[in-house]
Structure 1
Amino acid sequence: MKILIVEDEKELSDSIVSYLSHDDYLCEQAFSFNEASMKVGVYEYDCILLDLMLPGGNGLDILRKLKSKSPQTGVIIVSAKDSLEDKIEGLRIGADDYLAKPFHLPELGMRVFAILRRKCFDNDNILHSGKLSIDLLSKCASVSGVILDLTKSEYELLLFLIENHHRVVSKSALAEHLSGEMADMMDDFNFVYAHIKNLKSKLLEVGLTNCIKTYYGTGYKWIKDEESGK
């Protein structure tokens, strides 16, 4: 899961990155209004932690821009500006939650998890797709009780494909999801091909043969009804 932290206090931002990275979230940072505005306009995120008082502008304007482009993105307003008016306005625009500074990092972590679970996986801690089950809390995938030995990237790839099962996911979208802004500096998507190949191999070992369909020149799609053999 990819998270953007919009916070001008570098020490606090770095602390959030350090904490969330331990839960295997891919974290990116923005320290000003202009930087954050550029990133939400170019990249996609699963969740954004948004400060309101930023150098160069108001975080609520970034929220408006984000919701016009990607209304499904989860947003937690994280701000010392704890007025009722700001909270109401942020929630009215489309923020999912509001956390006043100072706060405890474990509480922030659980609020992030709750938003991702609600938006992507119907409020369930256990995700099911055919014979495959994923425990979102323990980040463990299994097929008919057999645990899959997945790397961090393979797990994130599997989850991203299942989350987007309704569409073909492009190679560039997969690269961005797995590596963030670094994807812009890559000459090819060989690392995506390698992760897809390894993931398919591990799924094949437990009897899932057709769950990742390749659309040559386009991308990949998760086939939900794998158990039907389709």
Structure 2
Amino acid sequence: MVHKLRLPALAALLILVAAVAVARPWSGEHRAAAQCREHEAQQEHEGRSVNPMYVGPRAAESPCGDRPGHPESFADLARANSARAARTVAPGTRLKPGAFRAAVAQRADLPRIGGTWTPYGNTPLIGDRTEYDTTNGSTREGLADLSGRVTSFAADPGGDHIFAAASNGGIWMSTNRGDSWTSIGDSLPTQVVSGMVWTPADGGTLIVLTG
């Protein structure tokens, strides 16, 4: 048998439900606060307090935020981030104890050979002479006494060929173990060379990196 609920009875039921909800507005907020405290206590116990900048939001957020039941204000967010960031550092940015001491010890173990260095060529270079290109570089910076700068060396292990790359001077080759040098990169689109390497492929190839 089907019974019809009269309108006055339905209205009374809705009023009763609304009254209960109004009488206990704190229940959801109280439950959220309890969950928040339990969550944070668990995080602290397990040592898993992390900066939310370095993890996904689900792993870092508390169930309720700083004010249970309310949206976070800017002050709440700034205070929480400041407190958490003060206890953590970014992954990979903290050196292990003894790392610097070990690096110094390893440096002392590097192989060494004797010998001295002396300048080669007519130095110093006079960089402020008017016949030089003055569109850019050191000639416009007032630097007069300069020295050459070699950015890379390469050699053919099977012969006497040695190659040198000058910073703004192209590629130079020596066939007598450095007694004399000849420019071989004049046809390159630029004389700015940052690196090069020799490979025995195809009977010997010099790979040059410009720029």
Which is richer in strand?
1
Q: TM-score, normalising length from structure 2?
A: 0.19
Highest relative contact order (Cα 8 Å, sep 6+), 1 or 2?
A: 1
Q: TM-score, normalising length from structure 1?
A: 0.18
Which is richer in helix?
1
